[in-house]
Structure 1
Amino acid sequence: MLETSNFYFQNYEQWRHAITVKCNINLTPEYARSRIVSLQNSNDRHTQEFSAKYGDAYLQQVIEWFARAEQES
């Protein structure tokens, strides 16, 4: 099991709150899908930076959270 203390957000609810309330982003299925596509692109500079800063495990976790948000919308 991954050590969750290494994660910026500890769970989906914290992450979703930050996206929708603090950042005031409308987490539509289209937005979630576009972020998933970007985050799965290993050639994308922002994805490379995210992975380098937070690690591949957290990157995968964020992709899963966007997938969950897409399904819930």
Structure 2
Amino acid sequence: MNDHNFYFQSYEEWRHALTKRCNIDLTPDYARKRIAALRNSNDSHTKEFSAKYGQAYLKQVIQWFEQAEQGH
């Protein structure tokens, strides 16, 4: 079941959720680690994420981590 209301609609919304609600320090190093994990199709968390939210949203989240890695 894909609940599109759960999806973040913008980078700012996504970043706010990670840094403020989840209290994650979104450093370039953290972003690089998450990008590597999300690009690993054999990673169990990535498989679960993709199955739950779809490939398009997975790609969007990777792009947001790439943006965070660049310090934006």
Q: Which residue of 2 aligns with 1:42?
A: 41
Q: Pairwise mapping of residues 1-73 of structure 1 onto structure 2 (< 5 A)?
A: 6=4, 8-72=7-71
**C-alpha offsets along residues 27-66 of structure 1, whole Å, 9 cap, x if unaligned?**
0000000000000000000000000000000000000000
Partner Cα distance (1:67, 1:27) in 2: 11
Q: Name the one with the larger helix percent.
A: 1
Partner Cα distance (1:28, 1:11) in 2: 19
Q: Which runs of 5+ in 2 are unaligned?
A: none
Whichever residue aligns with residue 15 of structure 2, its letter is: R
SS in structure 1 of the partner of residue 9 of structure 2: coil
Partner Cα distance (1:44, 1:60) in 2: 15
Divergent runs of 4+, >6 A: none
Q: Kindly report the root-mean-square deviation, in angstroms, between the aligned alpha carbons of the 2 structures.
A: 1.5
Q: Which runs of 5+ in 1 are unaligned?
A: none
Deviation at 1:72, TM superposition (A): 1.4
Q: Provide the aligned length of Structure 1 versus Structure 2.
A: 69
SS in structure 2 of the partner of residue 72 of structure 1: coil
Identity of aligned residues (%): 68
